[in-house]
């Protein structure tokens, strides 16, 4: 390893519980940190700028996008969400490993920009459970739910583009698997090219 940290992308279909798995993981392994997203939506009660989110105005957000300053971004329900490049890059340069918990489309943007990151996909034990969870949010009509289920299916079909697939059958078990694959990702050959160069320099 050189001293640079490792970028870890955690994704999966909407409703699979990636946030819950990451929370359990970070509690067990506080040496890791997750990236803080930027959003244009208004802070909710108790949310603090730079802790839960970076709260940006639309103008600030669009400015950053146009400068190429967002690693990935998307619009949900009229609000923008994204990962500012600068904070991630600074942490990696300090040698910290950074975890991005993001949606499948955002992960595809990161893959294009940083193919050597470690990409982890979380899946439900079965589709039924995911459907129940998407229905359970209860704020949407039948048509919206059908759309979300179709989107989830489409997202599951992209799993093979990831390095690892973890089943979220139990949160603690999934968090343990997450630790196993992150530790191994340090030895992935795509992260070790500098070692080969190093060995071959005297050959």
Under rule CB under 8 A, residue 25 binds a second copy: no
Q: List 39's β-bridge partners, or say none.
A: 55, 81
Pattern 62-91, a second copy, x by CB under 8 A: ------------------------------
d(CA 129, CA 155): 15
Q: Which of 5, 25, 124, 175 binds a second copy (CB under 8 A)?
A: 124
Pattern 133-172, a second copy, x by CB under 8 A: ----------------x--xx--xx-xxxxxxxxx-----
Q: Which of 42, 67, 115, 128 binds a second copy (CB under 8 A)?
A: 128
d(CA 102, CA 35): 10
Q: Which of 19, 43, 95, 125 binds a second copy (CB under 8 A)?
A: 125
Residue 96: HSE in the Cβ half-sphere, 13 Å Cα cutoff: 15
Q: Which of 2, 90, 126, 140 binds a second copy (CB under 8 A)?
A: 126
Q: Which of 9, 123, 134, 175 binds a second copy (CB under 8 A)?
A: 123
Q: What is the DSSP string of 45-114?
A: TT--BTTTBEE--HHHHHHHHHTT-EEEEEEETTEEEEEEHHHHHHHHHTT--EEEE--HHHHHHHHHH-
* Piece of the chain touching a second copy by CB under 8 A; list 51-59, 79-87, 89-97, 178-186: 178-186
């Amino acid at each position: 390893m050189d001293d640079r940290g490792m970028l870890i992308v955690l994704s999966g279909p909407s409703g699979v519980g990636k946030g819950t798995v990451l929370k359990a993981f970070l509690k067990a392994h506080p040496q890791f940190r997750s990236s803080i997203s930027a959003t244009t939506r208004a802070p909710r009660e108790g949310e603090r700028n730079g802790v839960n989110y970076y709260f940006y105005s639309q103008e600030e957000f669009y400015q950053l996008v146009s400068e190429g300053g967002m690693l990935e971004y998307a619009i949900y329900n009229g609000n923008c969400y994204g990962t500012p490049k600068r904070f991630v890059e600074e942490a990696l340069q300090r040698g910290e490993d950074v975890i991005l918990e993001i949606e499948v489309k955002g992960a595809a943007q990161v893959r294009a920009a940083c193919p050597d990151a470690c990409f982890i996909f979380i899946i439900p034990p079965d589709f039924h459970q995911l459907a129940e969870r998407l229905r359970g949010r209860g704020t949407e009509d039948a048509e919206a739910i059908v759309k979300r289920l179709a989107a989830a299916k489409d997202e599951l079909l992209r799993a093979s583009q990831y390095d690892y697939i973890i089943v979220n059958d139990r949160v603690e078990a999934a968090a343990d698997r997450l630790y196993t694959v992150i530790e191994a990702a340090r030895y992935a050959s795509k992260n070790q090219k500098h070692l080969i160069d190093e060995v071959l320099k005297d050959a």
